[in-house]
Structure 1
Amino acid sequence: MQRGSDSCKIAVPVHRRLTDFEIAVVGHNLALLSEYQGVLFGPESKRPLLESTAKELQKSTGSSILVECFGDAYFTDVFGYSWLLLKREFYDRFDDVSHVLICQPDAFILSADLKKWLASGYSYLGAPVFVGFDKPTMPLEFSNFLNGGLSLRNIADARSALNHVTLVRKSNWTRGFRALGLLQAINAILRSFGKSIVVIPKNPHEDVVWTGPIANALEAFSIPGLETAAQFSFENMPRELFRRNGQRLPFGCHAFGVYDPEFWREHFPDWTHEYLSNSCTVVSESSPNEPDRGSRSN
Structure 2
Amino acid sequence: MDNKRKICVIIPVHKAAPQPDELIALNACKKHLSSHNCYLIFPQGMDTSAYTAAFEGLLLKPVDPGWLASVEQYNKMKLNLEFYRLFAAYNYMVTYELDAYIFSQDLENAGAFDFDFIGAPFFEGYWEAKPGAKLVHGCNSGFSVRNINSCIRALSGMKKFRFRWLLYRLFLSHSSRLRLKLNGLTKGRLEVFITGRFGFYFADFHLNEDVVWTEVIPKLFPWFKVADPITALNFSFEYNLEDSLKLNKGRLPLGCHAWYKHLEFWSRYIDTRSIT
TM-score with structure 2 length normalisation? 0.81
Larger RCO: 1 or 2 (CA < 8 Å, sep 6+): 2
Matches within 5 A, 1:190-209: 198-200=198-200, 202-209=205-212
RMSD between aligned residues: 2.8
Q: Which residue, out of 58, 62, 83, partners 1:65?
A: 58
Deviation, 1:119, is 6.3
1:97 Cα deviation (Å)? 1.2
Q: CA deviation at 1:6?
A: 2.4
- 2:43 partner letter: P
* 1:7 positional shift: 1.7
SS in 2 for 1:68: strand
Q: How far did residue 229 of structure 1 move?
A: 0.6
Matched, 1:19 2:19: yes
Distance in 1 of aligned mates of 2:140 and 2:225: 15
SS across alignment from 1:82: helix
| 2:99 is aligned with 1:106 | yes
Matched, 1:177 2:171: yes
Query: In structure 2, what is the Cα distance between the partners aligned to 1:19 and 1:274?
Result: 11
1:158 aligned residue: 151
Percentage of identical aligned residues: 26
For 1:1-298, what aligned pairs fall within 5 Å after superposition?
6-16=5-15, 17-46=17-46, 49-50=47-48, 52-59=49-56, 64-117=57-110, 120-137=113-130, 139-166=132-159, 174-178=168-172, 179=178, 198-200=198-200, 202-258=205-261, 260-269=262-271, 272-273=272-273, 275=275, 278=276
Q: Which amino acid aligns with 2:94?
A: L
Which whole-Å deviations, capped at 9, do the CAs of 1:116-148 have from their partners, x for residues lacking one?
Answer: 357632000110111212211464122312111
Aligned partners of 2:28 and 2:103 also within 8 Å? no
Secondary structure of residue in 2 paired with 1:6 = coil
- Greater displacement, 141-150 / 22-31: 22-31
Task: Flag structure 1 segments of 5+ consecutive residues without an equivalent.
Answer: 189-196, 279-298
Q: What is the CA distance between 1:58 and its match in structure 2?
A: 3.4
8 Å contact from structure 2 (residues 118, 235) kept in 1: yes
2:50 aligned partner, one-letter code: T
**C-alpha deviation, 1:38, in angstroms:** 1.0
Give the aligned length.
250
The residue aligned with 2:175 is none
In structure 2, stretches of 5+ residues that fail to align are 173-177, 191-196
On the 8 A contact 1:9/1:36 being kept in 2, the answer is: yes
The CA distance in 1 between the partners of 2:212 and 2:45, in whole Å, is 28
